[in-house]
């Protein structure tokens, strides 16, 4: 069945996806607020019975669309009635996830918990448990409810009370960086009577726990996700629960409409390369971080831009790509670079840890810094001032990044829309003793 080959839109569409699954889509009217078209969708796994199951799903969604249209046309007390299979028995009116749960839509035409419950053929309290990150829901049922919350665009009512906390989520805690980010968040939210908490997502995942579900149970005022990505499922779950979310230096271009804050990494790469070019270096090597990370790509692109503009294109044979921004990567890659018949006169690193690895490789090879090799880092962690010689590096304003992300979270929590979807703060080249003019060889 080809895309668009199904019946006309008023009777629903069935589209075959590249995976072999069938997507069923039924028009369900206009959103009363945004005036955008609303659709009910369901995906049927591929297989011998897929087409028959898709027809059944279409008929079910058509019935649901008709019911929703009828409910929108009713006035008065009809809004508050139960919804059949999902029911409203056992609801706790004080539970934020159960607000307005007795109707399919509230008075603003928005989906309610009971509507999601009926679609999933579960009770409204079960949906409430998912929204609040509570246990007692089978994994398969939880995934189904989360998918429906995401696909149907459910949003928890704004009147829900939140804990007076802004939570920062890291993927692996890196001492100096994490402390500076938390300090900035505290500066931004402390005056609002809010506390700051943090979660290590890597530790939660290694223990078999979902960091997103844990956040739901704590109900923070907002969340800053730092130096990591998150799945559409995690984003959808937090969005459905009404928790404002801001990404700090996201690992990639977000697939969801999430505001982000980051340093001007490309500009930092340009400044670092230009500094070495001004000193007279032409054989410049680069040890970069993982290129699936946006910050690593931007820094490398900045280096390429500066060198290309100077008429000294970056020699790709002198580029080494790391996986973790680690000391060990700097050490191993620098050993290889320094063993070349014509080694580089300078090395630009993706971060300061990699640069420390280059320092050690130079020590082992008997190469002097900066006499034989100039080294530039990126981040400006505190240790760069204490190593020998003190390191030239690109300063990232981690505290200011944390403060900007937290301020954006507070705006979102206050009901304001984000004026900018991405904010970039300036980086600064800090010149110390690890760079000098190249000596003849």
CATH number at residue 390: 3.40.50.2300
Of 19, 50, 73, which residue constitutes the final position of a domain? Answer: 73
At residue 123, the pLDDT reads 86
256 part of a folded domain: yes
208 part of a folded domain: yes
Nearest to 312 by CA among 278, 288, 267, 269: 278
434 part of a folded domain: no
Q: How many domains does the chain have?
A: 4
Q: By the 8 A CB rule, do 1 and 58 touch?
A: no
- Those residues with Cβ within 8 angstroms of residue 109's Cβ, 6 or more apart along the chain or in another chain: 31, 32, 33, 72
CATH of the domain at 14: 3.30.160
| pTM beyond 0.75 | no
CA distance linking residue 293 with residue 310, whole number of Å = 26
CA distance linking residue 259 with residue 424, whole number of Å = 11
CA distance linking residue 329 with residue 380, whole number of Å = 18
Please check whether residues 312 and 376 belong to one and the same domain.
yes
Note down the domain range covering 13: 1-73
At residue 83, the pLDDT reads 33
CATH of the domain at 132: 1.10.260.40
What distances in angstroms separate CA 103 from CA 79, 108, 157, 317, 346, one per listed residue?
Answer: 6, 12, 14, 65, 67
Please check whether residues 155 and 181 belong to one and the same domain.
no
CA distance linking residue 381 with residue 394, whole number of Å = 10
153 part of a folded domain: yes
Please check whether residues 271 and 392 belong to one and the same domain.
yes
- Per-residue pLDDT tens listing for the chain (441 residues): 444 444 334 478 888 766 566 777 888 777 665 566 777 777 766 677 778 878 887 887 787 777 667 666 653 343 333 333 333 333 333 344 443 333 344 433 457 888 888 888 888 888 888 888 778 888 888 888 888 887 887 877 655 567 899 999 998 777 788 999 999 999 999 988 999 999 998 888 888 888 888 888 888 999 999 988 777 777 778 878 888 889 999 877 655 678 899 999 999 999 999 999 999 999 999 999 999 899 999 999 999 999 999 999 999 999 999 998 999 999 999 999 999 999 999 999 999 999 999 999 999 999 999 999 999 999 999 999 999 999 999 999 999 999 999 999 999 888 787 667 789 999 999 999 999 999 865
């Amino acid at each position: 069945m080809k895309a668009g080959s199904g019946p006309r839109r008023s009777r629903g569409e069935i589209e075959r996806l590249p995976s072999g699954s069938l997507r069923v889509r039924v028009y369900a009217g206009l959103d009363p607020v945004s005036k955008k078209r609303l659709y009910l969708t369901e995906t049927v796994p591929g297989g011998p019975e897929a087409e028959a199951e898709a027809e059944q799903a279409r008929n079910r969604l058509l019935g649901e669309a008709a019911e929703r249209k009828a409910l929108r046309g009713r006035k008065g007390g009809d809004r508050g009635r139960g919804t059949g299979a999902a029911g409203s028995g056992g609801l706790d009116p004080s539970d934020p996830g159960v607000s307005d749960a007795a109707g399919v839509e509230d008075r603003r035409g928005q989906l309610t918990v009971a509507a999601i419950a009926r679609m999933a053929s579960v009770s409204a309290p079960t949906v409430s448990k998912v929204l609040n990150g509570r246990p007692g829901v089978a994994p398969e049922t939880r995934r189904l409810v989360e998918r429906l919350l995401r696909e149907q665009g459910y949003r928890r009512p704004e009147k829900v009370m939140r804990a007076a906390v802004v939570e920062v989520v890291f993927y692996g805690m890196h001492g100096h960086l994490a402390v500076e980010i938390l300090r900035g968040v505290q500066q931004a939210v402390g005056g609002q009577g809010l506390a700051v908490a943090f979660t290590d997502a890597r530790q939660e995942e290694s223990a078999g726990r979902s960091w997103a579900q844990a956040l739901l149970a704590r109900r923070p005022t907002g969340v800053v996700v730092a130096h990591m990505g998150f799945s559409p499922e995690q984003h959808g779950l937090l969005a459905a629960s009404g928790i404002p979310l801001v990404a700090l230096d996201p690992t990639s271009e977000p697939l969801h409409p999430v505001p982000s804050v980051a340093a001007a990494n490309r500009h930092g790469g340009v400044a670092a390369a230009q500094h070495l070019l001004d000193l007279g270096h032409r054989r410049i090597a680069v040890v970069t971080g993982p290129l699936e990370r946006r910050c690593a790509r931007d820094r490398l692109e900045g280096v390429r831009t500066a060198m290309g503009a100077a008429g000294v294109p970056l020699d790709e044979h002198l580029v080494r790509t790391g996986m973790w921004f680690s000391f060990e990567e700097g050490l191993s890659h620098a050993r290889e670079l320094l063993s070349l018949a014509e080694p580089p006169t300078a090395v630009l690193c993706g971060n300061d840890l990699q640069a420390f690895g280059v320092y050690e490789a130079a020590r082992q090879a008997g190469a002097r810094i900066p006499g034989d090799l100039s080294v530039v880092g990126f981040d400006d962690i505190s240790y760069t001032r204490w190593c020998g010689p003190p390191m030239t590096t690109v300063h990232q304003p981690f505290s200011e990044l944390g403060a900007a992300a937290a301020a954006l979270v507070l705006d979102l929590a206050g009901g304001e829309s984000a004026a900018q979807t991405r904010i970039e703060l300036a980086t600064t080249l800090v010149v110390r003793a690890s760079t000098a003019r190249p000596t003849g060889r």
